[in-house]
Amino acid sequence: MDVDMSPTLLTLALIPAFLLFFWTISATTASSSFGLSFPSVRNKRICLLIAHPDDEAMFFAPTLVAMTRPELGNHLKILCLSSGDAAGLGPIRKKELKASALRLGLRSEADVFV
């Protein structure tokens, strides 16, 4: 039986096979990458530099919680480059930043610089 497949039909027939192949490769590579252990940072003095109050919560909350775990012995400080005073709310934003930092694991309000 001689089957003459057009190039378009052949391409359409091979697309699912290629997609399955690439999905299998990427799924096994990704799952093995997540199994790697990353080195932990212990007994370090760390300064987190942020641009605005609330950046610590919006972008760095998981990092702060992980880095301030007591068993790691790290001492974290936050340096914020603005007070968030665009609408005249600078003093409120400073208080919010300090309260947020304490909840995320910093040792004291003195570790927050605005």
User: Does 58 fall in a domain?
Assistant: yes
Report d(CA 9, CA 42) in Å as an integer.
59
pLDDT score, position 21: 79
Residue 8 inside a domain? The answer is no
Position 13 in a domain: no
Better pLDDT: 98 or 7: 98
**Host domain of residue 69:** 45-113
Specify if 78 maps to a domain.
Answer: yes
Record the pTM.
Answer: 0.66
Looking at the structure of the chain, the number of domains it has is 1
Mean pLDDT of 17-22: 80
